[in-house]
Amino acid sequence: MRWRAEYVDAAGEPHTKAFGRKVDAQRWLDEITADVVTGNYVDPTRGSITFTRFYADWSARQVWVPSTRRNADYVAAHAPYRHKQMVTIRRSDIEAWIKQMVDDGLAATTIRTRYNIARGIFRAARLDKVIGTDPTENIALPRARRRDAAMTIPTPAEVARLVDSSAVDQFGLFVQLCAFAGLRLGEAAGVQVGDVDFLRRQLTVSRQIQRDGNKPRIAPPKYGSERTVYLPDDLVTAISEHVADWTPDGPADRWLFADDAGDPWFDNRVGWRWRKTRSAAGVDFRLHDLRHFYASGLIAAGCDVVTVQRALGHSNATTTLSTYSHLWPDAEDRTRAAVTGLMTTVAESTADALPTGTLENG
């Protein structure tokens, strides 16, 4: 004898399953009922969609900047489980994917970025009741190097060589804006002449340039990090000379760095200039490391966390501390310096209190 269990889902669709025993049919119905009550019910037919198809439908609804979409598209196009049905993808599939990336020699930060993209996709699938469990939960990832070990901070001599190597080209000012104003690549590319207040010696960061295909795209600064950067006199002079040499005429919203068509630079156009300059200077670090150089200079000069945070455009002080905490003096150094100051003060006071006079032979 066969027992048939049936239920109707929230959309009014009937679902039927046959069992050899009544107790099994009843258990199945009880489990379905429990899932419905707890909000964990998943339509078994929806999970049959492939990862690729789900991503195509879901990603079309997301509001992303071009770089985020490129990164997500790459993960979706290369994930080894992309042709599997969503409901059949297991933790083992994700673990095998992570292991493959490790074996391919990818950096731990790159692996984490790709994993987080996949995790966002599976979370969306679970929220949309496509799957009942998320196979990306609690996956062990390779540990990244400590920030202080992984961070490269150029020396003043290396920065000097970079500036000298690019002095004859308009890229020279680009290097200086990254090194002495802490701008990100996209922020430096997005500077307009009107953003510079030459009298107050300050620069307003209010946009960045991103790549959209092979074209520049204007976007707000990363994480909404609009800010005012205070400029040293020499950098103000360098900007003034750059404007006079490369873009002397035009409206205030003309780009500080533009191609022959008047469009702003973006990462591709900056990239080849950077590689050429770096080679000529004999250095081997990223353009972004000039931002670390800037931050380290502020910290060495005694600037506090909030000041550095605002200068760099971090969304909060926690980000600044997690990135640069190793550059600030620790509690032992501060305590030792404070007590040294106390001892010096006492010693000076003692010296001032010693009696002075002359000795005479009696």
8 A C-beta contact, residue 173 and residue 247: no
In Å, what is the CA distance from 67 to each residue of 70, 72, 210, 212, 226?
A: 5, 9, 8, 8, 19
Residue 268 CA to chain centroid, in angstroms?
19
8 A C-beta contact, residue 218 and residue 207: yes
Upper half-sphere CA count for residue 41 (Cβ side, 13 Å): 19
- pLDDT tens for residues 205-252? 999 999 888 899 999 988 768 999 999 999 999 999 999 999 988 899
What pLDDT is stored for residue 171 in this prediction? 93
Q: What is the pTM of this model?
A: 0.70
* CATH class for the region spanning 48-144: mainly alpha
What pLDDT is stored for residue 47 in this prediction? 66
Assigned token pair, 214: 């092979």
Domain boundaries, the chain: 3-41, 48-144, 156-324
In Å, what is the CA distance from 216 to each residue of 211, 229, 282, 332, 352?
A: 5, 24, 30, 49, 68
What pLDDT is stored for residue 339 in this prediction? 79
- pLDDT tens for residues 292-306? 999 999 998 999 999
Longest dimension (CA), the chain: 134
Task: Report the distance separating Cα 155 and Cα 293, nearest Å.
Answer: 8
What pLDDT is stored for residue 235 in this prediction? 96
Task: Report the distance separating Cα 25 and Cα 276, nearest Å.
Answer: 71
Residue with tokens 């074209």: 215
Fold category of 156-324 in CATH: hpI Integrase; Chain A (1.10.443)
8 A C-beta contact, residue 313 and residue 319: no
8 A C-beta contact, residue 79 and residue 97: yes
Q: Would you place residue 88 in the very low, low, confident or very high pLDDT band (cuts 50, 70, 90)?
A: very high
- pLDDT tens for residues 305-360? 999 999 999 988 888 888 888 888 766 676 777 777 777 777 777 666 656 555 45
- pLDDT tens for residues 174-213? 999 999 999 999 999 999 999 999 999 999 999 999 988 8
Query: Do the first three CATH levels of 48-144 and 156-324 match, i.e. the same topology?
Result: no
